[in-house]
Amino acid sequence: MDTIQSIKQLCDLMDTRQASSYEITSEYLARIRRIDKQLNSFVSLHEEAALRAARLADKNRACGRIKPLTGIPIGHKDVFCVKGERTSCCSRMLESFVAPYSATIVQNLEDAGAVSLGKTNMDEFAMGSSNETSIFGPARNPWNLDRVPGGSSGGSAAAVAACIAPACTGSDTGGSIRQPASFCGVTGFKPTYGVNSRFGMVAFASSLDHPGTLTRSVEDARIMFDAMSGQDLLDSTSSRAPASSNTSAATRMTLGYPTSLFSDLPFSITNALEEARKILEGQGNTIIEIDLPHFDNAVAAYYVISCAEASANLARYDGIRYGHRSMHGSTFDSLCEHSRSEGFGQEVKRRILTGTFVLSVGHYDAYYVKAQKVRRLIRDDYLRAFEKVDLILSPASPTTAFRLHALDREPTEMYKQDQFTVPVNMAGLPAMSIPCGFAEELPVGFQMIGPHFGESRLFSLGVQFQTLTDWHLKAPNVLA
Amino acid sequence: MDDATLARLGHLSRILLKDEEQAALLQDLRTILRFVDEIKSVPTKDVEPLAHPLDTVQALRNDSVIDDIERDKYQQVASQTVDGFYVVPKVIDS
């Protein structure tokens, strides 16, 4: 079996009986055992269950019961519950939590025939942009092991880039799919808010959390999206509006390009972005300048809102009903305090305390309500832009993958990593990060942003770009 | 942001702050608040706060009785239970 295989190619192998799901799944498990000591991209493996599911998939194929993902092994970010398996969120708080049910998107993927390989590494509770806050240690970038894979879905991005999983799920609250996709040279996609169910995904900031995927191509992202998405009555914010992955949407589009936002970027990033722009222009797409006046306020407003929501969501970890329970504390309150202090890492504590501050008496209006007003201005900027354009282009990240520990003592510098992705979550828009080149031997990605429920436009333009380029076909030689 | 405010936040969020981590946390929170303070300069007169990115109505399930109370299953993830109850430190003085 070739090293680099897309979901589509793996399906072809099974359709033509060149390989069974059992053989394919075994091969990926062997690759993980062989090289993941270097990457640390998986934090748990479901070997027995995966091989059992693969055998069942082979039986189903033999009987003609073939679904879009029958027999395809995939990894799940450790933020998603998989029934009977540990879901730790890479936190001591949930280190021994075994999920009694599966997340809806996990169930949807299994219903479409997917085989769960295991759980991938992430920043603790998805709070981070480098995958360094995981209790299992950082995942590493397969293009350069001294560099971070990005975060928080760093394990998923590293695993797909290194070809030790054909595709993985991820979650994106402020860029946690698109930034690691950019750092690792893979395709990262999150649909419109509410299109993928959040049920069974450990909550960080509920109005900003978007489940999505990391894949080797746009075509694979589309296959995963078709299987994952749909209204879910178990998620009260699940959308009833139909989202389409139809790639026959308009082939020539008007693309917005907010050049003024890119002035401070390193040449290597803007150069790759310019090349991508020229390729798209060459295909008959029209590029026009657009303005997003409140773009620069997004990261600050995002940190107020996301920390506020995190402080409320993480209040549930009391050490009593589930999660880490301290051996100390003789009263209910002190047991809670000890359990939470021992269970949460530093970044999580910082965000809970920040969120508690902005929600507290005397600060609520000045911070939380103010940030929500700024959020409306940001969303309205996009709505106005989409009156003129079909999609918006931008970088996915202001840098390529940085060195491990480079931003350890710079929490706000780390937050700025998400400057191009955060505004999209504030507006709940669908977006995709696609590899578009290299800078100093590290991948660079560009981002396409769509209007609400404009997934089909993203898939159309993404497929168009990947038909003309081969950046997505490159892989690091970590398997060699 | 001072020591007293940090102590109050620690109490409100039920996080015990160790002496050795307080100085660094205080510094971090000051830096974060300076960083987010920029939103105060954005003109927002007559702007309604936005709590949800989509203008949609929340979907509701049918208000019907379901027989889905699997206490044993969901209590398996708790550290300490007895006869279907969660065990907590004594909360009522004798």
What does the pLDDT read at residue A411? 75
Q: Residue A76's pLDDT is what?
A: 98
Question: Which whole-number Å values give the CA distances from A441 to A191, A393, A438, A479, in the listed order?
Answer: 30, 23, 6, 17
Q: What does the pLDDT average to over A43-72?
A: 97
Does residue B64 belong to the interface with chain A, where contact is any CB pair within 8 Å?
no
List Cβ neighbours of A449 (8 Å cut-off, separation of 6 or more). Answer: A382, A391, A392, A393, A394, A424, A429, A430, A431
Partner residue opposite A193 with nearest CB, options B53, B79, B90:
B53
Query: Contacts of residue B13 in chain A, CB cutoff 8 Å?
Result: 311, 315, 340, 352-353, 356
pLDDT digit string (tens) for A217-264? 999 999 999 999 999 999 999 998 777 778 765 679 999 999 888 888
Cβ distance of A356 and B12 shorter than 8 Å = yes
Question: What pLDDT does B27 receive?
Answer: 94
d(CA A223, CA A245): 9
- Cβ <8 Å between B47 and A377: yes
| Residue whose token pair is 């003789």 | A330
Instruction: Say if residue A54's pLDDT is above 70.
Output: yes
- What is the per-residue pLDDT across B25-65, written as a single tens digit (0 to 9) for each? 999 999 999 999 999 999 999 999 999 999 877 778 888 88
Chain B residue numbers with beta carbons less than 8 Å from the beta carbon of A333 are 14
pLDDT beyond 80 at A1: no
Q: Are A130 and A178 in contact (CB under 8 A)?
A: no
Chain A hits for B39, CB-CB cut-off 8 Å, are: 297, 300-301, 304, 367, 370-371, 374
Residues A133-191: pLDDT tens digits? Answer: 999 999 999 999 999 999 999 999 999 999 999 999 999 999 999 999 999 999 999 99
**Which chain B residues are within 8 Å of A240, Cβ to Cβ?**
56, 59
Q: What is d(CA A61, CA A71) in angstroms, rounded to the nearest whole number? A: 8
Say how many C-beta atoms besides its own lie within 10 A of residue A384's C-beta.
13
Count Cβ neighbours within 10 Å for each residue of A223-232 and write b for 16 or more, e otherwise.
Answer: bbbbbbbbbb
Q: Which residues lie across from B24 on neighbouring strands?
A: none
Least confident of A146-160, A203-217, A291-305, A395-409: A395-409
CA atoms within 13 A on the CB side of A444: 23
Residue of A nearest to B35 (CA): A300
What pLDDT is recorded for position A364? 97
Q: Quick one: pLDDT at residue A249? A: 59
Which residues lie closer than 8 Å to A286 by C-beta, 6 or more apart? A252, A253, A254, A255
The more confident residue out of A416 and A446 is: A446
Q: Does B29 touch chain A (CB under 8 A)?
A: yes
More confident residue, A353 or B18: A353
Is position A77 annotated as part of the catalytic site? yes
Long-range own/partner contacts, residues A13-21 (CB < 8 A, 24 or more apart)? A14/A61, A14/A70, A14/A71, A15/A66, A20/A54, A20/A58, A20/A61, A20/A71, A21/A54, A21/A55, A21/A57, A21/A58, A21/A61, A21/A70, A21/A71, A21/A72, A21/A73, A21/A115
Match 């060699």 to its residue by tokens.
A480
Question: Which CATH number does the domain B1-43 belong to among 3.10.129.10, 1.10.20.60, 1.10.1740.10, 3.40.50.720?
Answer: 1.10.20.60
pLDDT at position A410? 79
Residue B28 forms contact with A (CB below 8 Å): yes
List, edge to edge, every strand of the sheet that includes A391-395. Answer: A42-45, A115-120, A73-77, A167-172, A210-215, A187-190, A431-439, A442-449, A391-395, A254-257, A286-289
Say yes or no: B69 contacts chain A, CB-CB below 8 A: no
- Whether A73 and A25 have beta carbons less than 8 Å apart is answered as yes
Residue A391 pairs in a beta bridge with A255
Let me know if A152 is a catalytic residue.
yes
Contact call for A207 and B6, based on CB within 8 A: no
What are the pLDDT digits (tens) for A90-143?
A: 999 999 999 999 999 999 999 999 999 999 999 999 999 999 999 999 999 999
Whether A450 and A457 have beta carbons less than 8 Å apart is answered as yes
Q: For chain A, list the domains and their CATH numbers.
A: 7-253+388-479 (3.90.1300.10)
Where are the domains positioned within chain B?
Answer: 1-43
Tokens of A105: 């998107």
pLDDT of A408 over the 90 cut: no
Q: How many of the other CB atoms lie within 10 Å of CB of A272?
A: 22
Rounded Cα distance, A310 and A304, in Å: 10
Across the range A390-403, mean pLDDT stands at 95
The answer to whether the CB atoms of A412 and B60 lie below 8 A apart is: no
B37 vs A300: CB contact, 8 Å cut-off?
A: yes
Looking at A41, A44, A91, A176, which residue is catalytic?
A176
- Average confidence (pLDDT) over A76-86: 97
The answer to whether A136 and A83 have CB atoms below 8 angstroms apart is no
What is the C-alpha separation between A77 and A131, in angstroms, rounded? 12
**What residues are paired with A190 via a beta bridge?**
A431
Beta bridge partners of A189: A213, A432
Q: Choose the catalytic residue: A152, A171, A394, A397.
A: A152
Token pair recorded at residue A82? 């998989």
- Indicate the residue of B6, B31, B77 with minimum beta-carbon distance to A100: B77
Closest among A382, A433, A379, A393 to A288, alpha carbons compared: A393
B49–A369 C-beta distance less than 8 A: yes
pLDDT at A479 over 70: no
pLDDT in tens, A298-333: 999 999 999 999 999 999 999 999 999 999 999 999
Residue in chain B closest to A410 (alpha carbons) equals B28
ipTM for the predicted complex: 0.94
How many angstroms separate the CA of residue A400 from the nearest CA in chain B? Answer: 23
Q: What is the dihedral of CA A432, A438, A439, A443, to 10 degrees?
A: 50
Q: Which residues pair with A452 in a beta bridge?
A: none
- A477 falls in which pLDDT band (50, 70, 90)? confident
- In chain B, which residue's Cα lies nearest the Cα of A336? B14
Does residue B3 sit at the A interface (CB-CB below 8 Å)? Answer: no
| Whether pLDDT at A7 is above 70 | yes
- What is d(CA A347, CA A351) in angstroms, rounded to the nearest whole number? 6
pLDDT of residue A136: 98
Mean pLDDT value across residues A14-33: 97
Structure tokens at A46: 């479901």
Q: Do A357 and B76 touch (CB under 8 A)?
A: no
Q: Write the residue in A233, A320, A375 that is nearest to B78 by C-beta.
A: A320
Confirm or reject contact between B86 and chain A (CB < 8 A). Answer: yes
Q: What tokens does A65 get?
A: 């019961």
- B9 and A356 in contact by Cβ < 8 A? yes
Put simply, the answer to whether B56 touches A239 (Cβ < 8 Å) is: yes
